[in-house]
């Protein structure tokens, strides 16, 4: 009788240990991943980006000159941004304006201030292709702003 009881208790112990292991493994698996994690754990938008092209601008007549293409925005990991708007002043390409602001991302929608007069803070999607990202504002879906590192 005692021998059967010992064997029975060992089987219960083994069963409980297997279930406990599976439960802990499942918890670890579920908490170690999230759908918006990047390979390196950082958002692809971080860093310095130059505005190089705009198609179908929401502001009539907005064209990026060679000087305007020096305009840039830096996205920092603390959700802050710093941007510079370059334009020709008395024949020279100079920084006309700088802006410190913030950026955010929610459900694949980015919100940040674009360094061009009249655009301001914009919500939209970003498609990353190597050292380029193409921003499409939600309020102007035919517009594309191309940024390069």
- What is the overall mean pLDDT for the chain? 80
Q: How far apart are CA 98 and CA 88, in angstroms?
A: 15
pLDDT exceeds 90 at position 31: no
pLDDT of 70-111, one tens digit each? Answer: 999 999 999 999 999 998 999 999 998 888 999 999 999 999
Q: How far apart are CA 123 and CA 128, in angstroms?
A: 16
What is the pLDDT at residue 33? 46
What is the pLDDT at residue 24? 54
What is the pLDDT at residue 54? 87
What is the pLDDT at residue 30? 55
What is the pLDDT at residue 148? 95
Contact 145, 123 (CB under 8 A): no
pLDDT exceeds 80 at position 60: no
């Amino acid at each position: 009788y005692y021998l059967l009881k010992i064997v029975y208790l060992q089987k219960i112990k083994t069963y409980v240990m297997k279930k406990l292991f599976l439960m802990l493994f499942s918890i670890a698996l579920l908490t170690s991943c999230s759908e918006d994690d990047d390979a390196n754990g950082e958002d692809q938008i971080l860093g310095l980006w130059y505005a190089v092209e705009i198609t179908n601008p929401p502001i009539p007549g907005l064209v990026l000159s060679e000087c305007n293409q020096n305009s840039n925005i830096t996205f920092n990991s603390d959700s802050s941004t710093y941007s510079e708007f370059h334009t020709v002043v008395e024949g020279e390409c100079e920084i006309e304006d700088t802006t410190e602001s913030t950026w955010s991302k929610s459900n694949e929608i980015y919100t940040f201030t674009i360094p061009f007069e009249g655009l301001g803070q914009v919500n939209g999607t970003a498609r990353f292709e190597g050292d380029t990202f193409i921003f499409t504002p939600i309020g102007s879906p035919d517009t594309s702003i191309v940024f390069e590192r």
